[in-house]
Amino acid sequence: MGRRRLVRDAFPRDAALVSFVAALILVGVALRFRPAGGPVAPVAGIVGAVLLVQLVVLTLRHQETMAALEEPLRCVVEHARGESIAVEGEGLVALESALEGIADRQRQLREAQASADLLQTRAEQARYELATLVQHLPVATVALSAFGEAMLLNRAAKALLGVTGRDTVGKPVAEVVSEPAVAAALTEALKLPEPGARRDLEVRLGPEGAPRVLAISVVALPDAEGRVGGVAAAIRDVSYEKEVEKVKSDFVSGVSHELKTPLASIKAFAEILSDGEVAGTGEIRRICTCIETEVDRLTRLINNLLNLSKIEAGIIRLTRTTFPARELLERVTQVLEPHASKRRQTLRTELSEYLPSLTADRDMVEQMVINLVSNAVKYTPEGGSVWLRGKVAGRSLLVEVEDNGPGIAPEHQERVFDKFYRVPGERAAGTGLGLPLARRLARMHGGDIALSSEPGRGACFRLTLPVGSTPHDQPTQEALECARPS
């Protein structure tokens, strides 16, 4: 029973070792149970030949195990030569010990193989997780070898750089990246002096008027010998940030101009009055009127800035009253007609006979319409015309402000409602706050402002305000969200 268990435990995977152990057991059995003084040379000779063949294979694979089998093998070889020797009990014990050693060795090999397989599986899993992480990073990531060949482009990089092919690894970066400027910048980064060195680059693509700007941060990678073996780069599209910077710069310039002009006028008029160079009451009155006009201009600018800040902070308060819409539109016409006349423009009013009353913040509604009409007067050339129309559209009041000015190109029509934005090439003075403020005030009242225009054929702004009222003096959260810049 002990020998059966020993054979079962020692049963190996290797076919050569199986046949070797089986033959060895047969020899042992033959020697153990042969008749007293009976011959065993024929059987031992055949089996011995098999054992010698297997021994060559097993010696290469199981040298440690062979050492334990030295004594039993010696006995088998001697019987194969025809020598008759007695196998004592110690020989069988040695054979059993050798077989047990084989079984232990096989168990150790299987355990070692299982551990190696587990480590390999974990390494492959870690490699897969790392590759998946890099591929799904929101930042475009590119890696190049020391020879300028693409080692890695994640999904964000392919989308940003317009790479369509899947097989990109090992190809020169100039073949993979369609933008020569980007490929040249990455190749140039291979000249970094040492591993870990960094460089920040900026590449401008596209037309001069609307460039696409890419910010590239590059770091040198080490090779096995500690030299620069490639580079890794993170690429971001910073076109919007650059545009915001430009808009802010233009805004500061515009505000400075808007403040400087009226302040200079006020200062000049004040000096005239203080020097006593004014002759007559009429001249004094004229100068005072000019000063008052410039102060009003400054007041409007400051109010626009404050109102925009309040809207974005969500703290503006509506004071709702009920008033006739016709009366408000006629007042706007009276306020802005002198400005149109100075530019030899015609301000035409077309109001429906059945205009309703509105329940809204009267000052804010008036500010919306003034901003729209003054914007039309500002951008319409001298001798042009501006129309102010009012009518009912469903359950809303529709106010249209149309001009026959230069018009607005489609790509700029939505942008004119962005804070600080001004159409490129326009020379009219302004801060870019009037239209954004008007739209946000309209949305706070549950309405909106839309624009339709064609270059060279003027523009038409349409203000819609609901006729119904909300019995609260605070705008709803939804209205505030709509009023804030997107």
243-252 average pLDDT score: 76
Whether the predicted pLDDT of 2 surpasses 50: no
* Most confident of the ranges 22-31, 190-199, 292-301: 190-199
Q: What pLDDT, on the 0 to 100 scale, is given for residue 87?
A: 46
Q: What pLDDT, on the 0 to 100 scale, is given for residue 431?
A: 65
CATH of residue 441's domain is 3.30.565.10
Residue 344 lies in a domain: yes
Q: What pLDDT, on the 0 to 100 scale, is given for residue 10?
A: 41
Whether the predicted pLDDT of 84 surpasses 80: no
Residues 221 and 257 in one domain: no
CATH of residue 251's domain is 1.10.287.130
Residue 195 lies in a domain: yes
Reported confidence tier of residue 328, pLDDT bands at 50, 70, 90: very high
Q: For residues 44 and 191, which has the higher predicted lDDT (pLDDT)?
A: 191
pLDDT, the chain, mean: 76
130-152 average pLDDT score: 83
Reported confidence tier of residue 206, pLDDT bands at 50, 70, 90: confident
Residues 216 and 254 in one domain: no
What is the C-alpha end-to-end distance of the chain, expressed in Å?
86
Residues 366 and 411 in one domain: yes
Reported confidence tier of residue 303, pLDDT bands at 50, 70, 90: confident
Last residue of a domain, one of 237, 272, 294: 237
Q: For residues 332 and 483, which has the higher predicted lDDT (pLDDT)?
A: 332
470-483 average pLDDT score: 42
Reported confidence tier of residue 407, pLDDT bands at 50, 70, 90: confident
As for how many domains the chain has, the answer is 4
Reported confidence tier of residue 462, pLDDT bands at 50, 70, 90: very high
Residues 263 and 409 in one domain: no
Residues 343 and 255 in one domain: no
136 class by beta-carbon count within 10 Å (0-12 exposed, 13-18 middle, 19+ buried): exposed
pLDDT in tens, 46-73: 555 555 555 555 555 555 555 555 555 5
Residue 118 lies in a domain: no
Whether the predicted pLDDT of 18 surpasses 60: no
Q: Enumerate residues 6+ apart whose C-beta is below 8 A from 359.
A: 320, 321, 322, 468, 469, 470
Residue 127 lies in a domain: no
Reported confidence tier of residue 400, pLDDT bands at 50, 70, 90: very high
Residues 285 and 420 in one domain: no
pTM for this prediction:
0.48
Domain range for 475: 314-483
Reported confidence tier of residue 485, pLDDT bands at 50, 70, 90: very low
Residues 177 and 287 in one domain: no
pLDDT in tens, 271-293: 878 877 777 777 888 888 888 87
Residue 131 lies in a domain: no
Reported confidence tier of residue 39, pLDDT bands at 50, 70, 90: low
Q: What pLDDT, on the 0 to 100 scale, is given for residue 157?
A: 83
Residues 191 and 147 in one domain: yes
SS (H, E, C) the chain: CHHHHHHHHHCCCCHHHHHHHHHHHHHHHHHHHCCCCCCCHHHHHHHHHHHHHHHHHHHHHCHHHHHHCHHHHHHHHHHHCCCCCCCCHHHHHHHHHHHHHHHHHHHHHHHHHHHHHHHHHHHHHHHHHHHHHHHCCCCEEEEEECCCEEEEECHHHHHHHCCCCCCCCCCEHHHHCCCHHHHHHHHHHHHCCCCCCEEEEEEEECCCCCCEEEEEEEEEEECCCCCEEEEEEEEEECHHHHHHHHHHHHHHHHHHHHHHHHHHHHHHHHHHHHHCCCCCHHHHHHHHHHHHHHHHHHHHHHHHHHHHHHHHHCCCCCCEEEEEHHHHHHHHHHHHHHHHHHCCCEEEEEECCCCCEEEEEHHHHHHHHHHHHHHHHHHCCCCCEEEEEEEEECCEEEEEEEECCCCCCHHHHCHHHCCCCCCCCCCCCCCCCHHHHHHHHHHHCCCEEEEEECCCCCEEEEEEEECCCCCCCCCCHHHHHHHCCC
Residues 468 and 452 in one domain: yes
Residues 328 and 349 in one domain: yes
Residues 336 and 435 in one domain: yes
Q: For residues 243 and 392, which has the higher predicted lDDT (pLDDT)?
A: 392
390-395 average pLDDT score: 89
Q: Position of tokens 């042992």?
A: 28
Q: What pLDDT, on the 0 to 100 scale, is given for residue 329?
A: 92
Q: What pLDDT, on the 0 to 100 scale, is given for residue 75?
A: 56
Strand partners, 296: none
Residues 53 and 145 in one domain: no
Q: What pLDDT, on the 0 to 100 scale, is given for residue 29?
A: 56
Whether the predicted pLDDT of 167 surpasses 80: no
232-241, 368-377, 409-418, 477-486: which range is least confident on average? 477-486
Whether the predicted pLDDT of 346 surpasses 70: yes
Reported confidence tier of residue 37, pLDDT bands at 50, 70, 90: low
Last residue of a domain, one of 237, 255, 287: 237
Residue 247 lies in a domain: yes
Whether the predicted pLDDT of 475 surpasses 60: no
Q: What pLDDT, on the 0 to 100 scale, is given for residue 486?
A: 39
Last residue of a domain, one of 312, 330, 352: 312
pLDDT in tens, 90-100: 666 776 777 78
Quick one: tokens of 122? 């974990």
Q: What pLDDT, on the 0 to 100 scale, is given for residue 286?
A: 83
Position 345: which residue type? Answer: Q
Whether the predicted pLDDT of 180 surpasses 70: yes
CATH of residue 177's domain is 3.30.450.20
Whether the predicted pLDDT of 398 surpasses 90: yes
Cβ neighbours around 391 below 10 Å, total: 16
The residue length of the chain stands at: 486
Residue 330 lies in a domain: yes
